[in-house]
Structure 1
Amino acid sequence: MAHSIEVEIERNYAAFLDMLERLMLSNNGRYALLHDQVLEGVFDSPGEADRQGFAKFGRGPYSVQLVTDEPVDLGFMSNAICQG
């Protein structure tokens, strides 16, 4: 299971990089929520993005990523949001 979560996180990050230029136009400094390589929303804080992700996807893998012109791949542990 951990492998599939890692793959999902990597795919979400790749999708995030593909949409980053567009996101930067009006969301710089905000937090993107991604699930299955789909942007599910952009939020003012990482906590807000996490709460929405957990409400929609439970413990399923989703990613929260800071919208910035210097994106950082924080790796599996930093991007896989787990509750509980």
Structure 2
Amino acid sequence: MSKDRLCEIDENYDFFQRKLKGLLQRHKGQFALLRHKRIIGYYTGPGDAYRAGLAKFPDQIFSIQEVEDRPAEIGLVSVALD
């Protein structure tokens, strides 16, 4: 994974964690597509979010986070999506 992509994931994760409390009421269980510390959209599954990210960002510089108040299984998701 490129350094740019890793940096994007880290920055988006920090941004997402700061916004999570406000997102839970309306988007719990959905998957947020993020780029440059902005939420681009919400999707019902990680595959939907990933396909939307690829369609919108051919450089693959984006990340996906589940709107959930429990710790994410990042390793499992990253393996499934790579």
**Fold shared by both chains (TM-score > 0.5):** yes
Q: How large is the Cα RMSD of the aligned pairs?
A: 2.1
One-letter identity of the residue aligned with 1:31? F
List alignment gaps of at least 5 residues for structure 1: none
For 1:20, the equivalent position in structure 2 comes to: 20
Q: Measure, in 2, the Cα distance between the counterparts of 1:43 and 1:73.
A: 18
The offset of 1:39, in angstroms, is 0.2
Partner of 1:59: 59
Give 1:1-84 correspondences, 5 Å limit: 2-72=2-72, 74=74, 78=78, 82=82
Unpaired segments ≥5 residues, structure 2:
none
Give the Å deviation of 1:72.
2.2
Specify whether residues 12 and 19 from structure 1 end up closer, same or farther in structure 2 by C-alpha distance, changes over 3 A only: same
Distance 2:70 2:48 in 1: 22
Give the alignment's TM-score, normalised by structure 2.
Answer: 0.83
Q: Which runs of 4+ in 1 moved over 4 A?
A: none
Three-state SS of the structure 2 residue aligned to 1:70 is coil
Alignment coverage as a number of residue pairs: 80
When the two structures are superposed, what TM-score results if normalisation uses the length of structure 1? 0.81
Distance 2:51 2:60 in 1: 13
Percent identity of paired positions between Structure 1 and Structure 2: 35
Residue 39 of structure 1 aligns to a residue whose secondary structure is strand
